[in-house]
Structure 1
């Protein structure tokens, strides 16, 4: 399998989630199942069904995190640099049509969260920026038509 690129901060966050789910959440869910079992007939016990579903979801996420962390290729962004956009770069760019300015960091898929200013390295906008420098323009095809952007700043922080 291919390695999954990930920033140091992303790796720390996913490791913390894994620890929380395996130590705290598992115990809490097991206690909820035991408490629901004590209420009697399991066939009509909504608390038991909800606790078992929560257990299933938690165990599924634990397995997903184990796979991601096992394949993680942790990259220290602070050791990167240069004028071009690549993994880990924090890029400020301007939408040439709306004059709207946005800043995003290019990160691995598991840690992407646009609302937190982190977009996946595999997203169309990231792929269009790769290799570009400050002052360069790039175009991204979207359902509403192509959009043009200008890169204002590239930083590795």
Structure 2
């Protein structure tokens, strides 16, 4: 079984989701199923079918989260000593060499990735290009419009 890399924050978010699914969503859908059952004929009961589908989704997500948390390798970026290299969990400031745009990303696990929060997946092309780079290095990223070059401005472990 391979380990799933997660930051401390990412693991906590998954634990919170799992807790909510078990303590709020699961009981709620069980209640909805019993209410729909009370309406009689189940063969043409849309509420019953919808509740059963929701229950199936919730149970599947619970299994998925328990697996991910059980096989997680939780990494605290603050304790990483990578000698200034871009690694999982690090926060990287990069500059687009074509237009000078500067952006900051944190390299996180697939489940934590959220571009709006400037968190990119370890398996994304840009993160793969950044891994191992230090301040001053150029990372070449294959983009749909061709190769883009980014200069690593700073690497932080926060």
User: Can you give the 5+ residue segments of structure 1 that lack an aligned partner in the other structure?
Assistant: none
Q: Which residue of 1 aligns with 2:143?
A: 142
- 2:99 aligned with 1:98: yes
Q: Which residue of 1 aligns with 2:131?
A: 130
**How many angstroms apart in 2 are the aligned matches of 1:59 and 1:39?**
24
Dislocated runs of 4+, deviation >6 Å: none
Instruction: Decide which structure has greater helix share.
Output: 1
- 2:56 aligned with 1:64: no
User: Can you give the 5+ residue segments of structure 2 that lack an aligned partner in the other structure?
Assistant: none
Q: Give matches, 1:1-157, under 5 Å.
A: 1-81=1-81, 82-157=83-158
Give secondary structure in 1 for the equivalent of 2:48. Answer: helix
Contact kept, 8 Å, 1:68 with 1:110, in 2: the verdict is no
Measure how far apart 1:145 and its partner are.
0.8
- Normalising by structure 2, we get a TM-score of 0.94
- Normalising by structure 1, we get a TM-score of 0.95
**How many angstroms apart in 2 are the aligned matches of 1:145 and 1:39?**
59
**How many angstroms apart in 2 are the aligned matches of 1:51 and 1:99?**
51
Measure how far apart 1:12 and its partner are.
0.6
Q: RMSD of the TM alignment (CA)?
A: 1.1
Q: How many residues are matched?
A: 157
